[in-house]
């Protein structure tokens, strides 16, 4: 491995799914360095039409495209989105350092980032100036967004298979018979109808984070997209409504709970362009703290868009990360720092 130009090549992507363009970049990375670290983005999320496959499934797809000798040179680093570029890039750099430290006889001083700068979505390639960068030319007109559109519209067709490594095409063909695939098809149709009716935004929403006695109030979504996922009580701001009043109204409508305005502890704005697949939606999360002295949790009941409302112990929140809607887990982690799992 000493003949390689670099000790470590880093490949960052969501790989939803891994297609022939990704495979070309991975091949180049294997030529540049003795070890390749594949950073698998959008990890630890609920399944959505944009992120249909868990990071473990994507890592397995990628590994299965490689012969045994090359597979042994590749390792995977799962990475949350965080919706904060500074925090995300620091986490990527830390994840690469920790993964590289597992290799014997590799000091990881020579690191190269590989990829192709296809559009505004690949701005993240510029967030690692301390690494060398090796640009790879785009391999034809292959785009994961288009692959997903074809997949959820028509299933694993021959046209789709031509864009994918064989093992990935077979995985998608089998997965198209799953209940998860059927649910995501419904979500995809709902999202398309939503944009046709309402457009792409910008829209304003309000969410309520209510804590009491080491519990937080969550609702289970009653409708697609994300039907059945846990979420914060909230919704769209009305035309003549102030933010605080909107948060209190949505809380009351979805859970039946009234809280005094004096319990408001903090308001935080979440405006990442990719935080919602419905449209460009900027939300204002209002944290209401009812204290720690209550012996009985306030009575609640799911209503309106919520099929259920429940007080969740704060200690149980990390285990719910892959079952939460949009960026609501990260909103909670911002306001109530959690012990992340994995």
Tens-binned pLDDT, residue by residue, of the chain (342 aa): 446 789 999 999 999 999 999 999 999 999 999 999 999 999 999 999 999 999 999 999 999 999 999 999 999 999 999 999 999 999 999 999 999 888 766 566 789 999 887 666 678 888 999 999 998 877 667 889 999 999 998 876 778 888 999 999 999 999 999 999 999 999 999 999 999 999 999 999 999 999 999 999 999 999 999 999 999 999 999 999 999 999 999 999 999 999 999 999 999 999 999 999 999 999 999 999 999 877 889 999 999 889 999 999 999 999 999 999 999 999 999 999 887 777
User: In the Cβ-directed half-sphere of 176, how many Cα atoms lie within 13 Å?
Assistant: 16
Q: Which residues are paired to 204 by β-bridges?
A: 282
List CB contacts of 96: < 8 A, sequence separation 6 or more: 8, 10, 37, 39, 77, 108, 111
Per-residue pLDDT at 105: 62
Query: Would you list the DSSP string of 309-323?
Result: EEEEEGGGGGGGGGG
pTM above 0.75, yes or no: yes
Burial of 300 (0-12, 13-18, 19+ CB in 10 A): buried
Per-residue pLDDT at 2: 47
The answer to whether residues 279 and 199 touch, using CB atoms and an 8 Å cutoff, is: yes
d(CA 77, CA 307): 36
Report whether the peptide linkage leading into residue 105 is cis, meaning its omega lies within 30 degrees of zero. Answer: no
Cα dihedral sign for 207, 211, 216, 220? Answer: negative
Give, in degrees to the nearest 5, the angle at Cα 99 between 67 and 166: 25
C-alpha torsion angle, residues 328, 11, 187, 44 (rounded to 10): -40
Place of tokens 């605080």: 244
Q: Which domains does the chain have, with CATH numbers?
A: 6-175 (3.40.50.620), 201-335 (3.90.79.10)
d(CA 176, CA 263): 47
Place of tokens 């209940």: 179
Per-residue pLDDT at 114: 93
């Amino acid at each position: 491995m000493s003949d390689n130009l670099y000790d470590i090549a880093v490949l960052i992507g969501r790989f939803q799914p891994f297609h022939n363009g990704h495979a070309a970049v991975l091949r180049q990375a294997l030529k540049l360095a003795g070890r390749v670290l594949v950073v698998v983005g959008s990890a630890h999320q609920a399944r959505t039409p944009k992120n249909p496959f868990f990071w473990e499934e994507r890592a397995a797809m990628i590994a299965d495209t490689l012969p045994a000798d090359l597979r042994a040179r590749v390792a995977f680093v799962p990475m949350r989105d965080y919706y904060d570029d500074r925090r995300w890039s620091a986490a990527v750099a830390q994840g690469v350092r920790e993964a590289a430290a597992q290799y014997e006889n590799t000091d990881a001083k020579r690191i190269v980032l590989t990829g192709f700068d296809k559009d505004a979505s690949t701005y993240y390639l510029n967030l690692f100036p301390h690494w060398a960068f090796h640009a790879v030319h785009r391999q034809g007109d292959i785009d994961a967004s288009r692959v997903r559109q074809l997949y959820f519209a028509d299933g694993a067709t021959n046209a789709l298979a031509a864009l994918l490594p064989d093992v990935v095409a077979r995985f998608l063909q089998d997965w198209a018979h799953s209940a998860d695939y059927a649910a995501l098809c419904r979500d995809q149709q709902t999202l398309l109808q939503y944009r046709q009716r309402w457009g792409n935004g910008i829209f304003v929403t309000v969410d309520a984070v209510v804590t009491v006695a080491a519990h937080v109030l969550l609702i289970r979504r009653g409708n697609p997209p994300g039907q059945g996922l846990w979420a914060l009580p909230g919704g769209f701001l009305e035309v003549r409504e102030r933010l605080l009043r909107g948060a209190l109204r949505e809380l009351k409508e979805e859970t039946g709970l009234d809280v005094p305005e004096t319990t408001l502890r903090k308001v935080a704005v979440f405006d990442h362009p990719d935080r919602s697949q419905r449209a460009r939606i900027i939300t204002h999360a209002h944290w209401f703290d009812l204290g720690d002295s209550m012996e009985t949790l306030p009575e609640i009941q799911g209503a309106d868009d919520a099929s259920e409302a429940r007080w969740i112990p704060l200690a149980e929140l990390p285990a719910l990360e892959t079952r939460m809607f949009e960026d609501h887990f990260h909103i909670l982690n911002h306001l109530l720092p959690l012990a992340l799992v994995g």
